[in-house]
Amino acid sequence: MRASDPVALRASTAQPVTLTRMGFGGAPLGNLYRRVEEADAQATLQAAFDGGMRYFDTAPQYGLGLSEQRFGQAIRRFGRDAITLSTKVGRLLEDCPPDAVTPTAFVDTPQKKIVYDYTYDGVMRSHEASLARLGVERVDILLVHDVDVFTHGSQEASAAKVRELFDGGGYRALCELKEAGQVRAIGAGVNEWQVCERLLGLGDFDAFLLAGRYTLLEQEALDSFLPLCVKRDVGIILGGPYNSGILATGAIEGARYNYEPAPADILERVRRIEAVCAAHGVRLIEAALQFVMGHPAVRTVIPGAMTPEEVQANIALFSRNVPAGLWSDLKGQNLIRPDAPTPEEN
């Protein structure tokens, strides 16, 4: 499998959307955790394009609009029709005084505050603002961003945002945009598979960008959600294949899991997985990146990158052969689920 291999978001749809098996996730170029110089950001986007990636994902949240602006500059070089582009709705960015800027993990951002809005008006306004920042007339995939517990703090708060999406007209707005041909696919980008499953019970979605919830460390989504996606031909865009760091760095001091320092039980599990990988001559990061592609619902993976070198490393990792015996040994030691599809099976 190569990063540049094309794949359909859905097997059959009135408006076909083609991705590449590896895409580029735009969060790091919003200055996630540290500043990225403009020239470096553009070099990183160019490396992704030159490496064959043709799917690019961003969001207003990423750097409070900075990531979208940087994508816009790159798209003017690539040509809009050369790529498949997704962004997200649910967060409006409003001008504000310096002391009112929304605190985030992004640094050196524009002077904006975030206002959550999943209503009809909120979706339409967010979509129009993204088009302006990107400098394009359309995006291909429009995703509802973060109607999840991780973002809003409780199951009740997440449920309220889902109700707002449907009762407040946000879902209707998405459908209107799709019916008018202004976007070709709609879905959600979230940190939890459970809310995706709930959304599938309420509406018709083409795709979900699922961050960190189907990895070498987590396969609970196999119970019901991923089989439902296969049944309904819903494409999964897999973000966070490294669980925000630990499956790339290994169980080192300070390793991060779900954006926080990894707890002891996760560190121990990663050490055990690393040992099995080492026995097969495979790096942990290689196994993590390729494992997720074993599931038939997963159409593409979008690992983060801040530099051209990181992009090139991800592309190289993706194309390496991982022996089938690695997966069987991980299953035999109960380190991944026995029912987890693996790359040689898909």
Measured CA to CA, the distance from residue 5 to residue 215 in angstroms comes to 21
Query: Judging by beta carbons within 10 Å of its beta carbon (0-12, 13-18, 19+), is residue 329 exposed, middle or buried?
Result: middle
Query: What is the Cα Rg of the chain in Å?
Result: 19
Residue type, 73: Q
| Catalytic residue ranges | 57, 62, 88
Name residues whose C-beta falls within 8 Å of residue 43's C-beta, 6 or more positions apart in sequence.
307, 308
* SS3 readout for 45-110: HHHHHHCCCCEEECCCCCCCCHHHHHHHHHHHHHCHHHCEEEEEECEEEEECCHHHCCCCCECCCC
Is 212:243 a contact under the CB 8 Å cutoff?
yes
Q: Which positions ≥6 away from 255 have C-beta within 8 Å?
A: 245, 246, 249, 261, 262, 267, 270
